[in-house]
A and B are shown apart, each in its own frame.
Chain A
């Protein structure tokens, strides 16, 4: 599974949004209901990438698209 697919899958599961409806250019703060949901997303992403993606680095990222790019950079594009 590519980083793109993995990130979309997690975002979809945590935020309860079908993958095809996730606007990857949208700011994360507009996609989440509240900060608890945002934190839940960030810690899931951190776990998914075996902690190679640091919480505070990823928490400063604004869009889903940027998370995918960041995951590619940190974890390799596969």
Chain B
């Protein structure tokens, strides 16, 4: 994964910068690749896609107003997300957290609550991006399950399969960064592959 700090940008500018970064990262990922003629477009679900049939690579892009993250995977469908740690309104939390997630969060102090609520959102979004739908599928259909201290699994009615989950809490930059990879075998099992 490549993460860059940028000057504060509009959403549109950040997207353009992210595409530039994706090309640079792609070149690093596959040094022999000729970039001429290559484009980063969007597939039918709005997910970024590299227009080259010979490349079996999955691309994911995320940005905040100050950071841009790009990742490419040859293992499966990748989804990444980068979020500024924030304090959510109660009504908002109720809309994306399941009951068991809320239970897990409720005893945390305020600072940790903000960090982990943002992390839960971000893991759900990264998962939905890996699945190809983004938040066009409801985040409540994805459940974050703590399995050990600071270790989480993701379960979802949308895909009955395991996935690789990675995250980083960067309190210095007030960020959480998450990554989910659904291997190609697993992603073909998706019960709602297209929307």
Interface residues of A (CB under 8 A from B): 29-30, 32-36, 38-40, 42-43, 55-56, 59-60
Binds A, one of B17-25, B47-55, B133-141, B169-177: B133-141
A39 in contact with B11 given A33-B65, A56-B136, A59-B136 (CB within 8 Å): no
Contact digits for B108-152, partner A, Cβ 8 Å, 1 yes 0 no: 000000000000010001000000001111110000000000000
Majority SS at the chain B contact face: helix
Q: Cβ of A34: which chain B residues have Cβ within 8 Å of it?
A: 11, 64, 83
A39 in contact with B137 given A32-B11, A33-B11, A60-B195 (CB within 8 Å): no
Please tell me if the beta carbons of A55 and B138 are within 8 angstroms of each other in the complex.
yes
Is B34 engaged at the interface, CB distance under 8 Å to the other chain? Answer: no
Is B12 engaged at the interface, CB distance under 8 Å to the other chain? Answer: yes
Please tell me if the beta carbons of A30 and B12 are within 8 angstroms of each other in the complex.
yes
Give which listed residue, B11, B64, B135, B138, contacts A30 with CB less than 8 A. Answer: B11
* Residues 164-195 (chain B) with a chain A CB within 8 angstroms: 195
* Residues 55-81 (chain B) with a chain A CB within 8 angstroms: 64-65, 81
Q: Cβ of A29: which chain B residues have Cβ within 8 Å of it?
A: 46
Q: Cβ of A35: which chain B residues have Cβ within 8 Å of it?
A: 81, 125, 134-135
